[in-house]
C-alpha cells in the first residue's frame, strides 16, 4: 500500500511520556510512525490513526491544526482494551494548497478502507469531512453519513469550501453518492429555518440536542446506519470541551460524546470516523484533548465488540415480527438479533422500480420503533426511509 509518501512522522518531542509507557498503555501497544522507525506494516491491522494538521479553511477557529499531536499526548497514556491491532500513521503532509491536503487525505483513507482498515482521523477543521467523503467515490455505492454538530454546515451559496459549508459541497458533488445524511445534536438557535426545510425536502434526518439527550440510547440506530461519521467538538458544551473558539455553553456532556463514539465503534457498517475543530490554544488544562482521547478509546472499545449481526443470510439468528398497521395499509417487518438484541425494520421498495438501493432496504431501528408500530402508528424512521426510496 503506497500511502507512506503522504505522511510525516510524529514529532515525539511533543509527546510528554514518549518512550516511557507501561506495556499495556496505548503508547506501547500502538505501532507508531515516528522519526526513529519505519512506516508501520499494515498487514493484519484493524484501525489506523491519521493526523491532519490543516486549518486554512477553518472559520474563527485557527489553531485547530495543532490538535493531532495534543490528542496523541493523552491517548497514548490510556490503557489497552484487550487484544488490539492499531497503527498511528503520523500526520498527513500539509500541501502547498488546501486541495493538496484534501487529495492526500482522501487517497490515504480510500487505500485503508480498501484493505478493510478503519481510519480514525484527527483534524484539523471540519472541512476535512469533504475529503473523507471523497474517499468513497471509487466504491461505486451510495453511502450514509452522520455528523455530530450544533449546525448543518450548509453555509451560503457560492462560498469557497470551508469548515461551515462542507455539507453543501458534498450535496452538490458530482457524481453524487450520498444516500442519506443525519445530524445528531443540532441546536435550534444556530440553525436557519430554511436549512431545516432543506433537510426535510432531501429526506435527511436531523435530531435536536434536547430530543437526543432525553434518551441517548436512541442515537445507536442512527449511528449504526452510518458508513462515515464526522464529529465536531463544538457539539460538546464549553464546560466539558473549552478547546474550540466557537464553543457554546450548551451541548453534549462529555460522557454522552463518549457514548456516541462507542455506538459508532460497535456499528458493523461504519468504515471511517473523524474528530474535528479541537483547538489546543483555547483548551484549559488539556481538558478537551483528554476528552477526545477518551472518545477515541470508547470508539476502539466498541470496534472490538462488534457483533456482525446485520440480518442477512441465516434468519434463524433473528426473531421476526410482522406488524400490520392502519387497517392493513402497511405491514412492517421487524428483525431482532438474538445475538445483540438490536432491531432492524424492512423498507418495502416500489415493485415498479429497479432495486438500486438494496443495502438500504433494512433500516436500523430500536425497540421504541417496534412499540410505536404496535400502537398502530408509523415510526418516523420507517416513514423517512420509505419516502426516500419512493
| Nearest residue to 235 (alpha-carbon basis) of 167, 290, 187 | 187
Cell numbers given for 242: 473549552
The grid cell for 259 is: 457514548
pLDDT at residue number 327? 77
Owner of C-alpha cell 453543501: 168
Domain residue spans in the chain? 4-303, 315-389
pLDDT score for 210: 97
Rg (CA), the chain: 21
Give pLDDT, residue 37: 79
pLDDT of residue 361: 82
Q: Residue 127 has what pLDDT?
A: 98
- DSSP string over 238-266: TTT----TT--S-SB-HHHHHHHHHHHHH
Sequence-ordered list of residues with C-beta below 8 angstroms from that of 234, at least 6 positions apart, any chain:
149, 150, 244, 246, 247, 248, 251, 277
- The pLDDT of residue 386 is 87
- pLDDT computed for residue 141 by the predictor: 80
The reported pLDDT for the residue numbered 348 is: 83
| pLDDT tens, per residue, the chain with 390 residues | 589 999 999 988 888 877 789 999 999 999 999 988 789 999 999 999 999 999 999 999 999 999 999 999 999 999 998 999 999 999 999 999 999 999 999 999 999 999 999 999 999 999 999 999 999 988 878 899 999 999 999 998 778 999 999 999 999 988 899 999 999 999 999 999 999 999 999 999 999 999 999 999 999 999 999 999 999 999 999 999 999 999 999 999 999 999 999 999 999 999 999 999 999 999 999 999 999 999 999 999 999 999 988 876 667 889 999 999 877 778 999 999 999 999 999 988 765 455 455 556 889 999 999 999 999 999 999 999 888 876
pLDDT of residue 2: 87
Q: How confident is the model at residue 126, as a pLDDT?
A: 98
What are 178's strand-pairing partners? 143
Strand order in the sheet with 330-337: 318-325, 330-337, 343-346, 362-365
CA 283, 244, 162, 173 torsion-angle sign: positive
Residues in the chain: 390
Backbone angles phi, psi at 144, to 5 degrees: -110, 135
Residue with cell 471540519: 126
Contacts of 116 (CB under 8 A, 6+ apart): none
Class for the domain spanning 4-303? alpha beta
Amino acid at each position: 500500500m503506497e500511502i507512506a509518501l503522504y505522511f510525516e512522522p510524529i514529532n515525539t518531542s511533543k509527546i510528554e511520556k514518549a518512550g516511557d509507557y507501561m506495556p499495556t498503555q496505548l503508547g506501547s501497544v500502538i505501532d507508531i510512525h515516528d522519526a526513529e522507525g519505519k512506516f508501520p506494516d499494515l498487514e493484519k491491522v484493524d484501525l489506523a490513526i491519521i493526523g491532519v494538521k490543516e486549518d486554512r479553511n477553518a472559520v474563527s477557529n485557527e489553531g485547530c491544526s495543532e490538535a493531532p499531536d495534543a490528542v496523541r499526548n493523552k491517548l497514548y497514556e490510556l490503557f489497552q482494551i484487550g487484544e488490539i491491532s492499531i497503527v498511528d500513521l503520523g500526520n498527513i503532509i500539509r500541501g502547498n494548497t488546501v486541495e493538496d491536503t484534501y487529495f492526500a487525505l482522501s487517497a490515504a483513507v480510500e487505500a485503508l478502507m480498501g484493505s478493510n482498515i478503519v481510519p480514525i482521523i484527527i483534524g484539523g477543521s471540519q472541512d476535512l469531512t469533504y475529503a473523507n467523503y471523497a474517499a468513497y467515490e471509487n466504491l461505486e455505492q451510495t453511502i450514509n453519513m452522520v455528523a455530530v454538530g450544533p449546525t448543518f454546515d450548509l453555509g451560503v451559496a457560492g462560498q469557497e469550501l470551508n469548515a461551515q459549508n462542507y455539507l453543501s459541497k458534498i450535496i452538490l458533488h458530482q457524481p453524487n453518492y450520498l444516500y442519506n445524511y443525519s445530524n445528531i445534536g443540532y441546536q435550534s438557535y444556530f440553525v436557519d429555518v430554511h436549512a431545516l426545510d432543506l433537510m426535510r425536502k432531501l429526506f435527511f434526518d436531523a435530531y435536536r440536542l434536547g430530543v437526543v439527550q432525553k434518551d441517548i440510547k436512541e442515537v445507536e440506530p442512527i449511528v449504526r446506519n452510518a458508513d462515515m461519521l464526522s464529529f465536531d467538538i463544538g457539539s460538546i458544551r464549553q464546560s466539558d470541551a473549552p478547546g474550540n473558539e466557537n464553543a457554546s455553553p450548551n451541548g453534549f456532556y462529555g460522557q454522552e460524546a463518549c457514548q456516541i463514539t462507542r455506538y459508532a465503534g460497535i456499528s458493523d457498517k461504519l468504515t471511517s470516523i473523524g474528530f474535528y475543530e479541537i483547538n489546543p490554544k483555547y483548551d484549559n488544562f488539556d481538558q478537551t484533548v483528554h476528552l477526545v482521547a477518551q472518545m477515541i478509546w470508547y470508539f476502539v472499545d466498541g470496534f472490538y465488540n462488534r457483533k456482525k449481526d446485520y440480518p442477512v443470510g441465516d434468519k434463524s439468528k433473528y426473531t421476526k415480527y410482522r406488524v400490520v398497521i392502519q387497517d392493513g395499509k402497511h405491514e412492517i417487518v421487524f428483525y431482532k438479533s438474538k445475538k445483540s438484541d438490536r432491531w432492524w425494520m424492512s423498507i418495502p421498495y416500489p415493485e415498479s422500480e429497479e432495486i438500486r438501493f438494496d443495502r438500504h432496504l433494512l433500516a436500523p431501528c430500536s425497540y421504541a420503533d417496534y412499540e410505536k408500530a404496535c400502537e398502530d402508528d408509523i415510526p418516523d424512521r420507517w416513514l423517512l426511509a420509505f419516502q426516500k426510496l419512493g
